[in-house]
Amino acid sequence: HVRQLYALVAETLRYSPVLEKLLAGAALLQAEKKLQPQLAKVLVYDLLFGKGLKCGGRWKVLVRRHRARLEAELARLKVQQKVSRNEDLLAPAQAASPGASQVPRYVRVNTLKTCVDDVIDFFKRQGYSYLGKATSVEELMALSGKKFLLDLHLPELLVFPPQTDLHDNLLYTSGHIILQDKASCLPAFLLAPAAGSHVIDACAAPGNKTSHLAAILKNKGQIFAFDVDTKRLATMNTMLMRAGVTGFQLAQQDFLTVDPRDPRYSKVTYILLDPSCSGSGMVTRGLGEEAAPSAERLQALAGFQRKVLSHALSFPALRRLVYSTCSLHQEENEDVVHAVLQEHASAFRLVNTFPSWPCRGLATFPGAESCLRASPADTLTHGFFVAVLERCGERAAAPSSLPVAAEENPQHGETTEPGAAPKKRKRKKKQVK
């Protein structure tokens, strides 16, 4: 339900100028003094452009009371602008802007339950047209209708046109696919823990990254997931069970209170740290009316982020750590990494990961280009920041080699028949051994 609401708010943002005209023409806010403008936009969008009002109670009654006037205003607006479709009411600049309405629907295949080829085949049977592996961001931007692609960077990520609604799809409700933005898939992908490893997900809820880690681990190993919110952990537990995740321990605990010397974590070699941040990179965060965080707020967040990152690096067996935020602010990203690296320079180094990723860290300190950034304009994703830190002297393969291998792997390319499932090939290899 939260994700459905998230998609609803994203579309409301897209239609915001149109909704403002409808509210003004129907005088809805004047008639209903207690109705807030943001909520009014969401309700009117769902009534006129969405799938109909799903809510109950007084809000449903209130908006339906004005339905006739709102529909009349919508018809008048179409006549005035000489259009017949609701979509044509949007300004051309809106359609071209790389905001919420242009970010594709990314679908991560849950390899704990299925494989990419089988998911592709399923969608083809549902009438979707598979176009093969994308070769550029422009191809993703050009998607429309019931067409989809394999992502050009991540090997288990399918890309559908914006606003594709898969919340009622059988694959989603059964946990075979995860609806997760591409940028949000980067942290677990770049951490790349080996099967059998012990991993900490320090700020885990709502659990998409945790389930991604479990898929990479192939459910072999142990994941310790922490979050301070009881309700979020309960939701996360349900989500992980649906995704077929095993070998995880959820704890309602502030990660800063976790003792790195506790014997339970003596084998933890990988940590994924995605701490609280300003969220300024989330393109569907609100209705465009929220003010940017103040300098004081950013400094407070950065202080917490430095503290929690430094704490994570104190785990004795740690080999590799990924630090990520959904923020665009330098204070929460490059500045945090630089400050903590100065404290731990003798023990940890910044890894130059994912060389083919087009958007790099801001050049605020030597080596900052090793970090990754993401944005709607540059990568057609939410705004994101990722840094990979590795213990000095580690002989393990550098994470930068993993994305390269993924890009060069042709098994899901255009020449591959969807019927040839990777799982079968793996079983053959085991027989040979």
Q: What is the pLDDT along the chain (433 residues), one digit of tens a residue?
A: 555 565 666 667 777 788 888 888 778 777 777 777 778 888 888 788 776 665 556 777 777 788 888 888 888 887 877 777 777 777 554 444 445 568 999 999 999 999 999 999 999 999 999 999 999 999 999 999 999 999 999 999 999 999 899 999 999 999 999 999 999 999 999 999 999 999 999 999 889 999 999 999 999 999 999 999 888 899 999 999 999 999 999 999 999 999 999 999 999 999 999 999 998 888 753 333 445 678 899 999 999 999 999 999 999 999 999 999 999 999 999 999 999 999 998 999 999 999 999 999 999 999 999 999 999 989 999 999 999 999 998 654 444 434 543 444 444 443 333 333 344 444 444 443 3
Q: E-assigned strands of 92-176?
A: 105-109, 129-133, 147-150, 157-160
Which residue type is seen at 161? P
**138 contacts: CB under 8 Å, gap ≥ 6:** none
pLDDT of 42:
80
* 280 touches 328 (CB < 8 A): yes
Contact 370, 387 (CB under 8 A): yes
Q: Which of 326, 359, 371, 392 is catalytic?
A: 326
**What own/partner pairs with CB < 8 Å and gap ≥ 24 does 167-175 have?**
167/3, 167/4, 167/7, 171/114, 171/119, 171/122, 174/113, 174/242, 175/110, 175/113, 175/242, 175/243, 175/244
Q: Which residues, including other chains, have CB under 8 Å from residue 397's CB and lie 6 or more apart? A: none
Query: Domains of the chain by range and CATH?
Result: 1-89 (no CATH), 105-179 (3.30.70.1170), 183-391 (3.40.50.150)
Q: Which residue ranges make up the annotated binding site for S-adenosyl-L-methionine?
A: 203-209, 227, 254, 274
The whole-number pLDDT of residue 20 equals: 82
Rounded Cα gap, residues 198 and 185, in angstroms: 19
Q: What is the pTM of this model?
A: 0.72
In the block, residue with structure tokens 């300024």: 280
Q: Which residues of 7-38 are buried (b: 16+ CB within 10 A; e: fewer)?
A: bbbbbbbbbbebbeebbeebebeeeeeebeeb
Q: Which residue type sits at 262? A: D
Residue 83: count other Cβ atoms within 10 Å of its Cβ. 13
Q: Is position 326 annotated as part of the catalytic site?
A: yes
Q: What is the pLDDT of residue 426?
A: 44
pLDDT at position 402, please? Answer: 46
Task: Find tokens 């939260």 and name the residue.
Answer: 2
In the block, which residue shows the tokens 């404290």?
343
- Name the β-bridge partners of 270: 199, 320
Which of 236, 247, 233 lies closest to 199, judged by CA? Answer: 247
**Cross-strand bridge partners of residue 387:** 323
